[in-house]
Amino acid sequence: MRQIFPAEASDGPIGSVQPGRPGLAEIARLYAYPPPGSPPGRPWVRANMVASADGAATVQGRSGGLSGDADRLVFSVLRSLADVILAGAGTVRAEHYRPVRGTEAWAELREGRPPTPPIAVLTRLLDLDPDGPLLAGAPRHARTIVLTTEAAPADRRAAAARHADVIVAGRELISPAAVIGALADRGHQRILIEGGPHLLGQMAAGGLLDELCLTVSPLLAGGRADRILAAGATGGGDIPPAQAGLRLAHVLADSDYLLCRYLRRDEG
């Protein structure tokens, strides 16, 4: 893996990444969150997505077919740096989400925090398996968080609450601002969004997305796959021009993959 932008920052390949070796520290430095309080008054919201060279967010309905070794490594570093991982119910079902295992997080990057971050899942009608591994299999230190609406049936909320922490974040629709506020109230200041496109669209349209980490995969997907960001009936919409601009922070290259980190243009 090599940093190719900014060019003046590159001094050769980033070393092989194993616990305690320099490569891990360098990648963590490149993806470090800003100090607490940036932006003022709310957490820092980062998204991590992968797309094909022709802009598809999935291959055969899943993002895993677009990934490579470097992308998976950065994926694990970003999860290790985060306080909480946020995903929509569609992504959770399609990608077969489970709680983060201890072997999947870098202990060096979790100092002073629980060994793994919890998963937070948005589901308007709570159509999740309450006894499935994501809810029932989460460890005590990282109980899954379920963000739903008053419209979700009461029996489903009760069933989910047996294993997970259930938060009502809207009446008929889930409010993105309420989601971020609820996670902040639980002490989560470093929020990592892993999809899907509608959730990312809602966060961006609401002015809540601070950073996008995007891996460009050297594949052509074709077909009718979604892009990484979409509007939809659940609240996504056009992004206000003042919030749409991005600035490139760095680009890493590995085996024809490009790993780009963008910051919202008005961020420091």
Closest alpha carbon to 117 in 144, 92, 142: 142
249 Cβ contact list (under 8 Å, min separation 6): 261, 262, 263
Residue type for position 156: R
122 Cβ contact list (under 8 Å, min separation 6): 86, 87, 88, 89, 147, 148, 169, 174, 179, 199
The answer to whether residues 45 and 210 touch, using CB atoms and an 8 Å cutoff, is yes
What pLDDT sits at residue 235? 46
What pLDDT sits at residue 237? 58
151 Cβ contact list (under 8 Å, min separation 6): 124, 125, 171, 172
Residue type for position 199: L
DSSP state of 152: S
Which residue shows structure tokens 């600035």? 247
The answer to whether residues 3 and 252 touch, using CB atoms and an 8 Å cutoff, is yes
The answer to whether residues 258 and 215 touch, using CB atoms and an 8 Å cutoff, is yes
Which residue shows structure tokens 């796959």? 225
| Beta strand ranges found along the chain (DSSP E) | 2-5, 44-52, 84-88, 119-122, 145-148, 165-168, 190-193, 211-217, 246-254, 257-264
Q: At 8, is the secondary structure helix, strand, or coil?
A: helix
Query: Could you give the domains of the chain?
Result: 2-9+45-255 (3.40.430.10)
What pLDDT sits at residue 64? 83
Dump the DSSP string for 35-86.
Answer: PTTSSTTS-EEEEEEEEETTS-S-BTTBSGGG--HHHHHHHHHHHHH-SEEE
End-to-end CA distance of the chain: 26
Closest alpha carbon to 145 in 173, 117, 111: 117
Residue type for position 203: M
What pLDDT sits at residue 60? 82
Dig out the tokens for 228 from the structure. 């990484």
Q: What is the mean pLDDT of each run of 10 residues along the chain (268 residues)?
A: 83 59 83 85 95 92 88 96 97 95 95 97 95 97 97 96 96 93 96 94 92 97 88 58 86 96 83
Instruction: State which H helix or E strand residue 197 sits in.
Output: helix 197-205
